[in-house]
Structure formats: C-alpha cells, structure tokens
C-alpha cells in the first residue's frame, strides 16, 4: 500500500496567517491527491482533488500544489472557521486509497 | 449532491457483529459507488472497501477482507457495512462516502454520511 506522510502533525496559527501543510507519498501518485478538512465530531469535507482543483464551493484562500510524491495545501489568510484537521488522500491506481495521518491547525 | 444518512451509535460485545446502514437521497442510487472508512478514536482514516451499487461489486481492504461485508439495497437506496467477529480495536466511527470520478480519472469522496460510532466493550 502507498504510505502518506503529512507534516507537521499540528501547527499553531493566527487568523490572517498563511499556513502550509505538506503531504508526501511513499511512491508516485501522479496528481491523484485529495485534501479534506475535518472539524471536531463532523464528517470530513473534500476541499481539493487532482492536487490543485478546488471542489465546488470551497473558498479560494485554499490552494493545492504538487505532483508525484510531494504535495502542499496552503491556506492564504486563515479564517476562524479554518481551524480544523486536514488530511491528504491518494487515489492512484487500485484501492486501498490511503490517507495521511492528519495535520491539526490550532489557534495560536 | 447526494445526501447520506447513517444509522446510530452501537455498543457491541467482542466476537459479535455490527451492521451500519447508509441511506442515500438526492441522487440516483444505481449510479453510486460507496466507500466505507473507519476512524479510530483520535486517529486518521482507514479505508475498508467500496461497493458499486448498480452491480453489487465489492472491493475490500486486506485488513477487512475476512470480516467485512458490504451490500446495497437498491429498493431502499441504502448501503450496508457489516463487520463480524468484533474486537476491542474495532471501536471507532464508521463513515460511508460517495466516490466521484474527476475528468482526469482520479477519484474523491465528495459526500459523506455523518458517521456511526461503534463501541466494542465487554
């Protein structure tokens, strides 16, 4: 199975900050990389697919980049509603489509 | 967008089985592929498997191949996940999600159920 590793596991930030989260794959996943946001006690929400395509309705302050094995999620101008845990997921080749362990964005 | 509603929380004993339902509305059930993932307490997500509802075709993660059964009832637009021979470590929240295919050919989970907490306790 392809292993996904996120860094950092948590970070502290303030409203208005630019936040970057990294996701690395143990082998290439091309651009087949998704990002999800999960708030406490709630189901995840798809933010980005194909490494950089925003899902409908997702604010433009979220952006994704990368290909192959190295990907980033950037939040430009952190908003109060963005404090949550973010997960990457690869959907390259056949399942299992594995997730990263998550990055928790907390209030500084 | 499809709306998924899952069954409620369950408390089960080790060795027993649990069956979680996932009812879909707002879309064509027969066009759906539904994934199941588990989130252990304070942990990330573990892929369990998927079912292509129109065919009933299933694919399981190796960790669940012997104990999980995914089914779909087209008459009620409901998918089910049954997990047998429960262990303490099966405690967690079980989510269903619809799988969409992007124009590029990639996949994503675009609609999620609210999750069903399963607690395995003696």
User: Which tens digit of pLDDT belongs to each residue from B23-45?
Assistant: 999 989 988 999 999 999 989 99
pLDDT at A45: 97
B45/A49 Cβ within 8 A: no
A44/B45 Cβ within 8 A: yes
B112/A44 Cβ within 8 A: yes
Q: Does B92 touch chain A (CB under 8 A)?
A: no
pLDDT single digits (tens) A23-72: 999 999 999 999 999 999 899 999 999 999 999 999 999 999 999 999 99
B45/A99 Cβ within 8 A: yes
The DSSP code for A15 is T
pLDDT at A94: 84
Closest residue in B to A103 (Cα) is B44
> Residue A95: pLDDT band by 50, 70, 90 thresholds?
confident
Residues of A in CB contact (< 8 Å) with B are 31-32, 34, 36, 42-46, 49-50, 53, 55, 87, 89, 91-92, 94-102
Q: Does B113 touch chain A (CB under 8 A)?
A: yes
Give B45's contacts in chain A (Cβ within 8 Å): 44, 87, 89, 99
Mutant choice from B39, B106, B107, B114 vs A, greatest count of A C-beta within 10 A: B106
Residue A93 has pLDDT above 90, yes or no: no
**What does pLDDT average to in each consecutive run of 10 residues of chain B (122 residues)?**
96 98 93 95 94 94 95 96 98 97 92 98 96
Cα–Cα dist A15/A83, whole Å: 9
pLDDT at B1: 83
- Coil vs helix vs strand at A43: coil
Q: How many CA atoms lie within 13 A of B46 on its CB side?
A: 18
Closest residue in A to B112 (Cα) is A43
pLDDT at B95: 98
Cα–Cα dist B35/B47, whole Å: 8
pLDDT at B39: 96
Per the structure block, which two tokens stand in for B83? Answer: 């997990």
Q: Does B29 touch chain A (CB under 8 A)?
A: no
Per the structure block, which two tokens stand in for B120? Answer: 């395995």
Average pLDDT (A6-14) is 97
Of residues B68, B35, B34, B44, the one with CA closest to residue A6 = B44
């Amino acid at each position: 199975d392809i292993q996904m590793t996120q860094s950092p596991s948590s970070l502290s930030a303030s409203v208005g900050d630019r936040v970057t989260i990294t996701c690395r794959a143990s082998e290439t996943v091309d651009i087949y990389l998704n990002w999800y946001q999960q708030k406490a006690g709630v189901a995840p929400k798809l933010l980005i697919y194909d490494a950089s395509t925003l899902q409908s309705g997702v604010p433009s302050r979220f952006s994704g980049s990368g290909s192959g094995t190295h990907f980033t999620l950037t939040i430009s101008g952190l908003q109060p509603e963005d404090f949550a845990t973010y997960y990457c997921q690869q959907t390259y080749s056949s399942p299992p489509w594995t997730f990263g362990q998550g990055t928790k964005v907390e209030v500084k | 967008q499809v709306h998924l509603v899952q069954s409620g929380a369950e408390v089960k004993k080790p060795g027993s089985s649990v069956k979680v339902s996932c009812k879909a509305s707002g879309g064509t059930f027969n066009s759906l592929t539904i994934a199941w993932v588990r989130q252990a307490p304070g942990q990330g997500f573990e892929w369990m498997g998927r079912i292509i509802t129109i065919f009933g075709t299933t694919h399981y993660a190796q960790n669940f191949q012997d104990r999980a059964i995914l089914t779909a009832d087209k008459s009620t637009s409901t998918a089910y996940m049954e997990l047998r021979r429960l262990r303490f470590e099966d405690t967690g929240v079980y989510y269903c999600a619809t799988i969409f295919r992007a124009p590029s050919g990639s996949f994503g989970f675009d609609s999620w159920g609210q999750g069903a907490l399963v607690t395995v306790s003696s």
